[in-house]
Chains A and B, each alone.
Chain A
């Protein structure tokens, strides 16, 4: 492991990669701060740029963007009560009241330190857990992978949209259907191309991500511009207050951070759970463990109430890299986008990644820590200035997002068809979003579609067409039982709500 860490450090500490982390953190923070634009949009916009670099550098840039966007999301949560990303919703519970009391600077500083501590601790957990998990996952066979993918897709459908399980499952199926367009990987038979040569290679992953996130996000913002429920709140940043944290507040954070980082990391590791659930759980847990006096402050500007979700959401970000790097199965929509980018680089994540491409594996882990340090150094003194970006007029922001989306596709394919297809998918996605159809399950399914078919193919061929492979191995059966439990639980909840 020491050798791996050294390889990672050598790769991560090159001038180019440090610069990439800095650039990633900075742009991630800016994009994450803008309400509606989360880490997935930020990373999607970066993908075409990363193709100009080697895989390690590209991933380091994306990891920086990811952390930056999560931190940026906290900034808009605290200052505007408009979370930039779902993972920072819980941050606004106590961050926004604190800002209203004239302590916005302090709230941002607590968020920055908690994010840093959460990210640092979870990077340490990841450092020790990832190699051992890689060894365990080497025992996985095709049926286990197939079952695990079903579990991942079901879990993301279950958790991504509260009470919208069936809608999320429809999005999962739609994502898999989109992934099935083009040549079959084994026989080269074309499917669903309708004799259109442009579809022979399938639909590009970047195209789907750009369409469903960046472009449809921009269209939704314009569409809802006059909607009083989602109108952009006026930014009042005249008084941010001091960013100093006093001794009493520090003492509270010392207790909150370790427990929230553990819960955040463990939730992040679970496929489909992610930063949102982690931050809510950490907030709830913190409320239960603090004194009655402190409990009364929750929702009114509590230090513990702000520190807990901030620590947990950053810890969950690192945690979500575990299934992606060790199993090749993303734990969240954002890591699904990163997995797609990795596949685009020709790198296959999975248990063998840390043997075949140790420089990528370890440099990502090491750059996470470096990213945390840079995020703190960069963002803490820049808080008052960064906050002003929230006032960027939508009239400029929207065309620029559309421009980056179209450019991303144009430089990859140089054909008009892909641009039309992207606009078409974006229009459909915008309409679906209006009615609360979640997009992360679609992306995850699109990324996993090919792998899922491949593993099902192997499993069915090995079992001579029998579906017994689903319960032949204990591991497969356990994974499937968990999936069934999630489905049954959601159906039960739907009926209970109705009655």
Chain B
């Protein structure tokens, strides 16, 4: 059997399905529901078996369309940095507030992706977020929590 990344993904999915199935069997149902034709664990159990079946088939059967990815040409570093910035953005958005974190997220993302036109970067972050925030909060009446703007008295 030829081992390629697709097979490894299938193996991981097989393990995941086995774990899912195990967890499905652990779902606590009401005592009177235990022997019912259908209870809260019935559907997940079928899904677990279906996952094992399809990933098992993918593991066993030959793969006529092997996908070859040239990892040398992939930008892992920039993608990783972007994900990291997004995580920091997610972690600070509630505490700091929508306006400042979003603007900084956009500005930092432009920078790490190689942009150096500072004025354009600024215009497409701070004023852009302010306009978008006005659209959501002011016009569409969608509440946006922003402790930073509240602390400086811009938002009520």
Contacts and interface: CB of A to CB of B under 8 A. Distances in A.
Asked if A and B bind, the verdict is yes
Interface of A: 48-49, 51-52, 163-164, 166-167, 169-170, 173-174, 176-177, 180, 184, 186-187, 189, 191-192, 219, 222-228, 393-396, 398-400, 402-403, 406-407, 410-411, 414-416, 419-420, 423, 427, 430, 432, 434-437, 452-453, 456-457, 460-461, 463-465, 494, 497-498
The residue in A48, A423, A452, A464 that gathers the most chain B C-beta atoms within 10 A of its C-beta is: A423
Contacts of B86: 402, 406, 419, 423
Contact of A224 (B74, B89, B105): B74
B19 to A, nearest CB: 10
Given A416-B91, A416-B94, A226 B39 contact: no
Closest 9 CB pairs of A and B: A465-B37, A419-B90, A399-B109, A52-B140, A184-B40, A395-B113, A395-B115, A189-B40, A453-B43
B40 A191 contact: yes
A497 B64 contact: yes
Contacts of A463: 37
A177 B47 contact: yes
A414 B98 CA distance: 10
Nearest to B116: A395
A453 B115 CA distance: 49
A244 B140 CA distance: 41
Residue of A51, A436, A464 most packed against chain B (CB within 10 A):
A436
A128 B10 CA distance: 46
A213 B82 CA distance: 17
Contacts of B39: 187
Contacts of B98: 407, 410
Contacts of B37: 460-461, 463-465
Contact of B67 (A222, A398, A407, A435): A435
B45 to A, nearest CB: 10
B13 interface: yes
Interface string B96-124: 00100010011001100111000010001
A396 B110 contact: yes
B23 interface: yes
Interface residues of B, number: 71
A187 B73 contact: no
Label chain B's interface by main secondary structure.
Answer: helix
15 contacts: A186-B40, A187-B39, A395-B113, A399-B110, A402-B82, A403-B105, A403-B106, A419-B93, A430-B79, A435-B9, A436-B65, A456-B38, A457-B38, A461-B36, A461-B38
Contacts, number: 181
Given A163-B64, A170-B55, A400-B124, 16 more contacts: A52-B141, A164-B65, A166-B54, A169-B54, A191-B40, A222-B75, A227-B73, A395-B113, A395-B115, A398-B109, A399-B113, A406-B90, A407-B98, A416-B94, A419-B90, A465-B38
A435 B6 contact: yes
Contacts of B6: 167, 435-436
Given A170-B10, A420-B87, A498 B47 contact: no
B42 to A, nearest CB: 7
Contacts of A226: 73-75
Contact of B79 (A49, A192, A222): A222
B142 A173 contact: no
B57 A166 contact: yes
A411 B76 contact: no
B75 A225 contact: yes
B131 interface: no
A198 to B, nearest CB: 13
A439 to B, nearest CB: 14
A406 B13 contact: no
Given A163-B64, A226-B75, A435-B6, A398 B40 contact: no
Contacts of A394: 113
B67 A219 contact: no
Given A398-B113, A419-B93, A461-B38, A411 B87 contact: no
A166 B142 contact: no
A410 B95 CA distance: 13
Contact of B38 (A167, A400, A460): A460
